[in-house]
Amino acid sequence: MKVLHLDKNHPLIIEQFKGFGFTNDVDYTATKEEVEAIIHNYEGLIIRSRFPLDKTFLDKATNLKFIGRLGAGLENIDTDYATQKGIFLASAPEGNRNAVGEHTLGMILSLFNKLNKADKEVRNGKWDREGNRGIELDGKTVGIIGYGNMGNAFAKKLRGFDVDVICYDIKDGVGNENATQVDLEELQQKADILSLHVPQTQLTKNMITANFINGFKKPFWLFNTARGKCVVTADLVTALKEGKILGAGLDVLEYEKASFEHMFTDNELPEDFEYLIKSDNVLLSPHVAGWTVESKIKLAQTIVDKVKAKFL
């Protein structure tokens, strides 16, 4: 097979593909239109998030047998159309689920103990112990929406804490020893912490709205390491101002472009984002929850293993 690599990944993917007898070409700079002009020459395609693989692109890919995406989701691919064309689709949520679980837990502990705020103050010569008194995770109820690879990995990280972990998922029977599956109403009644671990779909886009937030019985903490467009930022900011959300850890933002590599179309920051960056009870990171040294290796190996199992 001839395979085209459109994004830089761990070199093991090319090395192992060579071992399978595959021919590997790389093109990390071509436009979507330029790739469309040559994609008919390839049976395999490796991508992260450079551009969407829509019907127009897939119609040009007349010989394509597989697409490997080194990430958790396939939202930048028209999966229904690709499947109709008989293209094997491989994503790699197994590769970065541990990293996402650790990052989410780190965000919770950092916000609960005001580590980001305290660090900045000490660096500026301010020694405020009472103003940085934290709260403990023990005794809280953690609600997880989306209990697949990521939700499971996060729940596993909580096993060392004295917490109740509940989960909601559109699939039945996903609860396990790490989390009890409940309906959405029960999660909203009980949760002190809400962590999102869902893919971006029509069901999850704009999922966290004012109406959703107002359905919670008590103020809660929100953590999003899933997709930015799951949360309506304006409604989040309103809830933060009103105290309905006590704080937020956001690895992803509504404003991100589809490539995840850039955020804003222009240089003007949205007003709601200005509020977030000035808030001591908000912790932000640049879509790196699954972006570790180890996950880079595991993501590549996961795709290699899936392609090998399918074609060799």
- Tens-digit pLDDT profile for residues 276-299: 999 999 999 999 999 999 999 999
| Whole-number Å distance between alpha carbons of 198 and 117 | 29
Q: Cβ atoms within 10 A of the Cβ of 311, count?
A: 14
Strands 245-250 vs 2-5: parallel, antiparallel or unpaired: unpaired
| Whole-number Å distance between alpha carbons of 200 and 202 | 7
**Is 287 considered catalytic here?**
yes
Question: Do the two domains 2-91 and 97-284 of this chain adopt the same fold?
Answer: yes
Superfamily of domain 97-284: NAD(P)-binding Rossmann-like Domain (3.40.50.720)
**Is 254 considered catalytic here?**
no
Task: Find the catalytic residue in 5, 10, 48, 227.
Answer: 227
Give the tens place of pLDDT for each residue, 140-185: 999 999 999 999 999 999 999 999 999 999 999 999 999 999 999 9
- What's residue 256's pLDDT? 86
Q: Which residue has the tokens 């917490």?
A: 163
- What's residue 269's pLDDT? 80
CATH-assigned architecture of domain 2-91: 3-Layer(aba) Sandwich (3.40)
- What's residue 264's pLDDT? 65
- What's residue 262's pLDDT? 67
**Is 227 considered catalytic here?**
yes
Q: Is the pTM of this model over 0.85?
A: yes
Task: Find the catalytic residue in 256, 261, 271, 294.
Answer: 256
DSSP β-bridge partners for residue 245: 220
- What's residue 116's pLDDT? 95
In the chain, domain spans: 2-91, 97-284
List per-block mean pLDDT (blocks of 10 residues) for the chain, which spans 312 residues. 97 98 97 97 95 96 98 93 98 97 98 97 98 98 98 97 98 98 98 97 96 98 97 98 98 83 70 96 96 98 98 96
* Vertex 146 angle, CA 141 and 147, to 5°: 80
Kindly list the distances between the CA atom of residue 190 and the CA atoms of 163, 166, 184, 252, in Å, as whole numbers in the listed order.
12, 9, 10, 25
| Whole-number Å distance between alpha carbons of 79 and 84 | 9
| Whole-number Å distance between alpha carbons of 86 and 61 | 11
> Residues 247-260, buried b or exposed e (16+ Cβ, 10 A)?
bbbbbbbbbbeeeb
